[in-house]
């Protein structure tokens, strides 16, 4: 490890680190979109930028393109229909061919403007186009800021499974302008907050207390910049030590084992990701109480903060426990692969455990119905 991320304390917050051999700079604050252009020399020596954006953030993408054009970098814009189905081969082909037609070259860069969908898709475009071009992430959802724009995982989906085709490709620069959250729907803001709660539990009682005391979202912008920066710094500390998830990086999946099961059992429509993670966190804490002696007060407090921000804390009717278990690969037939769970002794004290007893997992899901 090369000393871990360097984190500034002033706003805008700037975090600099190296992941593998790639230098990564993250800028977090209000009205910081101009940093894309101001820091461009460190991103790419090329003459063009391929700006891939979600159709719901056309204005932000227009601002980024204008800033790049102004500094003399030709911005080629490609929009992407909103929603998970855009993480597909058809969009990958469409975008890479648009890049080729526009003459985008190996020395140029891709700028992803959008939530995690566009970040994952455009990130994979950057990894694959001409065997890899520089990538800039401009996340526009809270989830993309605290999670998907950091760490270099990029992918598209197959009908057989989410994120089945992808690459690890680190962004050189990530610019998080909190002003763009003004247009993000409340439900999406809450979903991102579920991941923030996850970081609070993973990092420390201090961070958990700040998260637990958070007022209505989005809250004070300076405080939000600090909160986002602390989540990002946590993820970067983990990813710099374990880029390819051979161990530690798996800790970022707190709440995701059961959460993914719930998301899949609801056919990806009943709950969106953050909502399923809200429930998954509570299940993981329940199992942590039984296996690691976690004080039950943490679960009560976690449920309070999730509920306060509009996230579900009890599992709705119509989601069968067997369906959740099946989606987790835990139904009676499928015991072929080990179930890995991230558990806690206390906030900040994380353990990875294999194969928690089946009955305990079932009970934790059932107890979500209370």
Ligand X SMILES: NC(=O)c1ccc[n+]([C@@H]2O[C@H](COP(=O)([O-])OP(=O)(O)OC[C@H]3O[C@@H](n4cnc5c(N)ncnc54)[C@H](O)[C@@H]3O)[C@@H](O)[C@H]2O)c1
Supply the residues annotated as catalytic: 131, 153, 195, 235, 245, 249, 253, 256, 260, 273
Residue 342 as a binder of ligand X (CB under 6 A): the answer is: no
Binding mask 277-306 for ligand X (x = CB under 6 A): ------------------------------
Binding ligand X by CB under 6 A: which of 116, 218, 255, 266? 116
Cα–Cα distance, 271 to 279 (Å, whole number): 10
Residue 80 gets which letter from DSSP? E
Pick 70 or 187: Cβ nearer ligand X: 187
12: helix, strand or coil: coil
Pick 35 or 177: Cβ nearer ligand X: 177
Residue 156 as a binder of ligand X (CB under 6 A): the answer is: no
Binding mask 232-271 for ligand X (x = CB under 6 A): ----------------------------------------
Pick 189 or 364: Cβ nearer ligand X: 189
Residue 177 as a binder of ligand X (CB under 6 A): the answer is: no
> How far apart are CB 59 and ligand X at their closest, in Å?
9
Residue 114 as a binder of ligand X (CB under 6 A): the answer is: yes
Binding ligand X by CB under 6 A: which of 17, 25, 44, 56? 56
Cα–Cα distance, 370 to 364 (Å, whole number): 11
Q: How far is CA 162 from CA 154, 257, 320, in A?
A: 11, 14, 22
240, two tokens: 């710099």
How many other CB atoms are there within 10 angstroms of residue 134's CB atom?
24
CB-based burial label for 174 (10 Å; 0-12, 13-18, 19+): buried
Residue 171 as a binder of ligand X (CB under 6 A): the answer is: no
Binding mask 186-205 for ligand X (x = CB under 6 A): --x--x--------------
Helix ranges, the chain (H): 35-38, 58-70, 89-101, 116-128, 142-143, 186-203, 205-212, 221-241, 256-265, 273-292, 296-308, 321-327, 358-366
Nearest CA among 339, 209, 191, 352 for reference residue 274: 191
Residue 140 gets which letter from DSSP? -
Pick 180 or 236: Cβ nearer ligand X: 180
* Residue numbers 78-107 binding ligand X by CB under 6 A: 82-84, 87
Binding site for ligand X (CB under 6 A): 54, 56-57, 82-84, 87, 114-118, 120, 140-141, 143-144, 147-148, 151, 153, 162-163, 180-181, 183-184, 188, 191, 273
């Amino acid at each position: 490890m090369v000393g871990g991320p360097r984190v500034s304390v002033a706003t805008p917050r700037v975090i600099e680190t190296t992941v593998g051999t790639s230098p990564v700079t993250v800028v977090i604050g209000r009205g910081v979109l101009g940093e894309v252009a101001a820091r461009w020399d460190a991103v790419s020596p090329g003459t063009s930028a391929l700006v891939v954006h979600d159709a719901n953030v056309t204005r932000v993408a227009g601002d980024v393109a204008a800033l790049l054009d102004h500094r003399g970098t030709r911005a080629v814009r490609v929009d992407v229909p909103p929603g998970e189905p855009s993480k597909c081969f058809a969009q990958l082909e469409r975008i890479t061919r648009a890049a080729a037609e526009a003459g985008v070259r190996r020395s140029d860069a891709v700028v992803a403007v959008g939530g995690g969908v566009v970040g994952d898709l455009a990130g994979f475009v950057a990894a694959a186009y001409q065997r890899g071009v520089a990538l800039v992430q401009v996340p526009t959802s809270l989830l993309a800021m605290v999670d998907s724009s950091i760490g270099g995982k990029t992918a598209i989906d197959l009908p057989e499974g989410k994120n089945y085709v992808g690459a690890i490709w680190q962004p050189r620069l990530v610019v998080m302008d909190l002003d763009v959250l003004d247009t993000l729907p409340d439900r999406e803001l809450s979903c991102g907050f579920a991941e923030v709660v996850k970081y609070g539990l993973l990092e420390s009682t201090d961070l958990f207390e700040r998260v637990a005391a958070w007022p209505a979202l989005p809250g004070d912008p300076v405080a939000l910049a600090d909160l986002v920066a602390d989540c990002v710094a946590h993820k970067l500390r983990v990813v710099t030590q374990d880029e390819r998830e051979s161990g530690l990086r798996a800790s970022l999946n707190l709440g995701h084992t059961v959460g993914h099961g719930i998301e899949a059992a609801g056919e990806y429509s009943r709950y969106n990701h953050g909502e399923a993670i809200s429930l998954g966190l509570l299940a993981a804490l329940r199992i942590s109480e039984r296996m690691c002696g976690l004080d039950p007060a943490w679960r009560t407090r976690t449920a309070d903060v999730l509920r306060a921000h509009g996230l579900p804390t009890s599992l709705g009717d119509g989601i069968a426990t067997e369906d959740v278990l099946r989606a987790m690969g835990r139904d009676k037939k499928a015991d072929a692969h080990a179930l890995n769970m991230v558990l806690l002794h206390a906030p900040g004290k994380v353990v990875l455990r294999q194969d928690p007893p089946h009955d305990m997992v079932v009970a934790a899901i059932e107890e979500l119905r209370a």
